[in-house]
Structure 1
Amino acid sequence: MNTLQLSIVHRLPQSYRWSAGFAGSKVEPIPQSGTNPDNCLVALKLLSPEEGNAWPLMEKLSQALTDIELYSSVLECEGEPCLFVKSQDEFAATCRLKNVGVAIAEPFSGQNPV
């Protein structure tokens, strides 16, 4: 069975940018007021990790994006591997991941409509 089809990712709410001198290898959070869309990254975090398989699985997700010529990096964030893509590539990246069987968790406010 394809392990990608059992995976669920969600977008971290914080925006990121490459750390100075570490493009592609280190990120830092961006304050909401200082978001520059040209240098803004989004992070996708795995919600359904199989014990010990999170890093290889995130590398497979990155490869799926590389297959359609979208640049991404898998880096540690909040103690876990996260997939970083340019904010302008977010929709193409999530579409590609859905096409290979990954579920994308959407934000939920928790408020019931009246």
Structure 2
Amino acid sequence: MLPMSVVHRLPQYYRWSAGLAGSRVEPYTLSESGNENDLIGLKLLSHNGAPAWDVMAVLKAALADIQLECALLEWEGEPCLFVQRVDECAATGRLKNQGVAIAETFSPADYG
């Protein structure tokens, strides 16, 4: 059984580093032209260290169950799942169905 998990969408968009598709990503700014291969990153907030890698492997398997491609990579010292931006809704929907909480970022303007 999967312990209570919380993931957060990283604030940037990513792309595969040149020649390293599937193994290394790099962030880019929205001012650059995006395409269908853009990636988003999901970071686990509820676990650290080795347990975080184990939980992320379970989450990756849950996405694979619905044939959604993703990569589990280290980003800034933490395990992160990277999925294509066009698959973001499907990925977060699947994770929510598995009992994973998706943390949202709110700004003061959201409370008008």
1:3 aligns with 2:41: no
Task: Tell me the percent identity.
Answer: 56
Residue deviations 1:26-60 (CA, integer Å, cap 9, x gap): 00011221141312100000010055201111111
Q: Please, which of 29, 35, 58 is the counterpart of residue 60 of structure 1?
A: 58
Q: 1:63 to 1:112 in 2, by over 3 A?
A: closer
Match of 1:99 in 2: 97
Q: What are the ranges of 5 or more consecutive residues in structure 1 without an aligned counterpart?
A: none
Match of 1:44 in 2: 42
Shift of 1:64: 0.3
Shift of 1:92: 0.3
More off after superposition, 19-28 vs 34-43: 34-43
More off after superposition, 77-86 vs 32-41: 32-41
The amino acid that maps onto 1:3 is L
CA RMSD of aligned residues (A): 1.5
SS at match of 1:53: helix
User: What TM-score does the superposition give when structure 2 sets the normalisation length?
Assistant: 0.92
SS at match of 1:81: strand
Q: 1:27 to 1:50 in 2, by over 3 A?
A: closer
Q: 1:93 to 1:112 in 2, by over 3 A?
A: closer
Q: Which structure 1 residue ranges, 4+ long, deviate > 6 Å from structure 2? A: none
CA contact (8 A) 1:37 1:88 kept: no
Q: 1:75 to 1:109 in 2, by over 3 A?
A: same
Match of 2:69 in 1: 71
Q: Please, which of 29, 32, 40 is the counterpart of residue 30 of structure 2?
A: 32
The amino acid that maps onto 2:14 is Y
Match of 2:85 in 1: 87
Q: 1:50 to 1:20 in 2, by over 3 A?
A: closer
